[in-house]
Amino acid sequence: MAIKISSGHLAEIRKHGEETYPYECCGLLLGKEQAGVKVLQAVRRVENSREDSRHNRYLIPPQEIVRGERYARENGMDVIGFYHSHPDHPARPSGYDLDHAWPWYSYIIVSIEQGKAADLNSWLMQEDRTGFDQEEIIKEG
């Protein structure tokens, strides 16, 4: 599986991460799977409303995902994944993330170093739930 992303959408994700620095940003990735490739068609920002809660906080509550899925369906798309930023930390998932993921979805992480977007990677959870593999990003436009 790979994900095709336009340079405009990549810039949008990076910009969101820079805007919310030093806090994390998060959002939904909407699009369609075509011939085994996920094609990103829209990025939907989600407000991180739980900055106060340091323990087991949820970045994207289920109600936001329900709303995002409804919006996607109405516009002929699906939720194809999620993104969030890691302020001053690498663009890779934690072991903890394994307990909170499903296969197939793209989990994009953008590292924000000192307020500037750095590495951006997409991750796929392995089918047996034991780890993440880096997913190919096909850049277009």
Contact footprint for another protein (CB under 8 A): 24, 26, 33, 54-62, 65-66, 69, 78-80, 82, 84, 86, 89, 94-97, 99-105, 129
Nearer to another protein, 10 or 28 (CB): 28
* Closest separation in Å from C-beta 28 to another protein: 9
* Closest separation in Å from C-beta 95 to another protein: 7
Nearer to another protein, 7 or 88 (CB): 88
One-letter amino acid of 46: V
Nearer to another protein, 55 or 76 (CB): 55
Alpha carbons within 13 angstroms on the beta-carbon side of residue 45 total 14
* Closest separation in Å from C-beta 55 to another protein: 7
In this structure, what token pair is assigned to residue 77? 């798309």
* Closest separation in Å from C-beta 139 to another protein: 23
Nearer to another protein, 35 or 141 (CB): 35
What residues have CB less than 8 Å from 62, skipping those under 6 apart? none
Identify whether the C-beta of residue 106 lies closer than 8 Å to the C-beta of residue 81. Answer: yes
List the one residue out of 42, 126, 118 whose CA is nearest residue 87.
118
List the one residue out of 21, 132, 134 whose CA is nearest residue 86.
21
